[in-house]
Amino acid sequence: MNRFDYICPGSIAEAVSAAAEPGSAYLAAGTNLLDLMKIGVSRPVRLIDITRLPGLDAIEWQADGGVRIGAMVRNSDLAYDTQFATAFPAVAEALLSGASAQLRNAATVGGNLMQRTRCAYFQDTASRCNRREPGSGCDALEGENRLHAVVGWSDRCIATHPSDFCVPLVALDAVVEVVGPEGQRKVPLESFHRLPGETPEKETVLAPGELITAVHLPAEAARFKANARYLKLRERTSYAFAVVSAAAALDIEDGLIRQARLALGAVAAKPWRVREAENALVGSAPGTAAFARAAEIALEGARPSGDNAFKIELAHRIAVRALSLAAEGTPQVMPALPASPFSTIPGVSHVA
């Protein structure tokens, strides 16, 4: 780990001013950043500690039913907030499916959005990685890539975004509040993360010095609370990142779908919202045929980036399963395996 300056500002304005200096990084819980610093992937010359900044750790309900979630709210605190979990159950399910209980007690809302890819070549400084070192190449293209992207990738980078939390947030039209040297602005989460294209090192739309201060969920997102699920297929039952995941939410009235939301995770360098699939569901009766068609539309442009063609079929199946479970209704009690397609209810099929 390189030597660095440590700064503990007393206000958001002081933090933003300090972070405007080249080589700066914000430090919250550090559950991702510190690991990357230890292995030499991230080498900031100054850390700005935002853990003591006032006003970043509150869950604030708006008069219209929307909610503003401070960037320093802990994942576990948000997931176990009864009002929040009732209004946005798929988000709570996603939070409880990520990492261990110990990490969820430390990790923050803002930090979750800023997670960096878990691609092994990104984390190995002896490997070529355009995301870590622009122009060096991408060893993942010809390497171990069975868990890499199947949509939105380029020949510069085939990594995926690891967040569970961001997938239902994108599906529910979450907005990110940021503050920087030019003032405050709001960015739809759907456009917050960048696809790799020719510049995979540019992972988000944040400008230098900009700080995430909150995430907003609109009141309209709560209309899906009766029919919303997040599912995650992983290679180990717990403490594993998704092979594929899906967030599905339906607004059903008189036996027909009035509105639908669908987003896929672990298939691209960002959470993958599929509006064309959502539109195809509107006016349909909820059922396997409609859901299978929506999944086909969602993955029409998918193609392997290596030895991972199987992920396309898995993503199709997890999308259908998520939509089917959403149509059955949000469970009153969180499943024993949150976000898992493998139900603990006797007699339920485990075939995705």
* pLDDT tens sequence across 31-74: 999 999 999 999 999 999 999 999 999 999 999 999 999 999 99
Percent of the chain at pLDDT exceeding 90: 90
The per-residue pLDDT for 349 is 53
Query: What are 261's strand-pairing partners?
Result: 249
> What's the whole-number mean pLDDT along residues 291-299?
98
pLDDT confidence bin for 344, thresholds 50/70/90: low
The per-residue pLDDT for 348 is 54
What CA–CA distance (Å, rounded) separates 320 from 323? 5
> What's the whole-number mean pLDDT along residues 96-108?
90
* Of 334 and 164, the one with more pLDDT: 164
CB 1 within 8 A of CB 37: yes
pLDDT in tens, 185-234: 999 999 999 999 999 999 999 999 999 999 999 999 999 999 999 999 99
Tell me the domain boundaries of the chain: 1-54, 224-328
Tokens 């030597």 sit on residue: 3
What distances in angstroms separate CA 227 from CA 86, 89, 99, 237, 326, one per listed residue?
11, 9, 25, 24, 5
The per-residue pLDDT for 340 is 84
The per-residue pLDDT for 343 is 64
Q: Share the mean pLDDT of the chain.
A: 95
The per-residue pLDDT for 345 is 59
Mean pLDDT lowest among 123-132, 165-174, 336-345:
336-345
> What's the whole-number mean pLDDT along residues 90-111?
93
Please state which CATH class domain 224-328 belongs to: alpha beta
pTM of the model: 0.95
* Of 261 and 235, the one with more pLDDT: 261
Q: What is the DSSP string of 114-164?
A: T-----HHHH-TTS-BTTTSTTS-BGGGGSS-TTS-SSS-BTTB------S
Ramachandran angles phi, psi of 334, nearest 5°: -60, 135
Q: Which CATH number fits domain 1-54: 3.30.43.10, 1.10.287.1400, 3.30.70.3420, 2.30.30.60?
A: 3.30.43.10
